[in-house]
Structure 1
């Protein structure tokens, strides 16, 4: 999070599948790819929450269908189920030079089939540090009243349903939900090594700046500083901003109900008094 919604550009070819988990510098990585590849990048945390409602609703559908359609061995139960989910995925991915962050981290096999020439780049960090940083995400996403507070807000009214579907997929893939631990981080890396063909999988750390990323993509190092976006601060700011928006919207709704109720009462009272005056 921390960026703005990135709109697709029809005809744009996907070049990079970002397979690094959330809180591994995916926001900085996304901005760096926009600079290097000169096109829109779909950062999951940003586009899902700040985009049109069709974004988050289609992802909920994708994740739920994934859970219904997958076998325990990691394959689809039928070709029909796989094709259906591939169509849902294509609707979201078309028009972007790269995709990063969840929920794409749970759709790497599908993306590999759809874009056989794309490079899979995984943003990494120390597993222990990642585990500690996930506490921020967990705290922000599991506030008990969140669904009620966000209900008046377009797109975000589906946020809790989206997170619930994502948690179910995490459980299926990694055997954990929240709080996620370094076990999930390590299992994700192992899963990628088994899934992605040799030569297409690259690991980078955003701490190392431009050089490893440019080397992986065969690009010259840009004459601008490597972007540094603090995911933790962005998530905190996002939570405070939109919870505040939700509470304000509820205040408007409830005040409107109160006013309407007051008007109705006055009309009833006046009507009752007028009726009594005739006797």
Structure 2
């Protein structure tokens, strides 16, 4: 592992993934989780279970986006020689982007009739994606404040500042 992305999703992480891969650095991202069906691993990590990051990230030279960014400290311990990059975005623009994408998808699934949520279990990433994102993002990084735009933007800024303060 050469690079750990600690920036939140919707801050250019897919563009970062694309750029790194052009440079020959395979990058693990949320799309990787969906493609490979690794949500169970991240769900376990989000619940505090012992996980082996090296196993799920094998073959990757970089990692970014949710949920991996939530574990940047653990990843720094697992890969002490890796560089850490923090992608950022204007807080208001970031909030709007998350609300229109990730929040909308999570709410649609949560608010769907029971039979739709039941069907979700048959398709990757299945039922664990919502609970995992709840622990990592909605309750983790944002501390339950997403519906309060000002508070959510403040939590986002606090996350960024906390990443900047970490020294290994």
TM-score (norm 1): 0.52
- State the Cα deviation string for residues 148-188 of structure 1 (Å, max 9, x = none): 342332x2323xx2222332233244423544721221011
- State the Cα deviation string for residues 123-171 of structure 1 (Å, max 9, x = none): 1111111011111121112112252342332x2323xx22223322332
2:103 counterpart of 1:138: yes
- State the Cα deviation string for residues 211-235 of structure 1 (Å, max 9, x = none): xxxxxxxxxxxxxxxxxxxxxxxxx
1:65 to 26, 43, 48: 48
- State the Cα deviation string for residues 76-131 of structure 1 (Å, max 9, x = none): xxxxxxxx33x2x2211121110010111110111111111111011111111101
Distance 2:40 2:135 in 1: 16
In structure 2, the residue matched to 1:39 is: 25
In structure 2, the residue matched to 1:273 is: none
2:99 counterpart of 1:157: no
Aligned pairs for 1:54-133 within 5 A: 55-65=38-48, 84-85=50-51, 87=52, 89-133=53-97
Give unmatched runs, 5+ long, in structure 2: none
Q: Displacement of 1:47 after TM fit?
A: 1.3
Q: Report the count of equivalent residues.
A: 158
- Secondary structure in structure 2 of the residue aligned to 1:107: helix
Aligned pairs for 1:149-188 within 5 A: 149-153=119-123, 155-158=124-127, 161-170=128-137, 171-176=139-144, 178-179=146-147, 181-188=152-159
In structure 2, the residue matched to 1:238 is: none
RMSD: 1.9
- State the Cα deviation string for residues 191-213 of structure 1 (Å, max 9, x = none): 1022244xxxxxxxxxxxxxxxx
- Secondary structure in structure 2 of the residue aligned to 1:110: helix
TM-score (norm 2): 0.84
Distance 2:80 2:27 in 1: 18
CA contact (8 A) 2:88 2:160 kept: no
CA contact (8 A) 1:168 1:177 kept: no
- Secondary structure in structure 2 of the residue aligned to 1:142: helix
Distance 2:122 2:135 in 1: 25
CA contact (8 A) 2:141 2:156 kept: no
Distance 2:141 2:8 in 1: 13
In structure 1, the residue matched to 2:117 is: 147
CA contact (8 A) 2:27 2:64 kept: yes
Q: Which structure exhibits the higher relative contact order, with contacts defined as CA atoms closer than 8 Å and separated by 6 or more residues? A: 2
CA contact (8 A) 1:147 1:157 kept: no
In structure 1, the residue matched to 2:16 is: 29
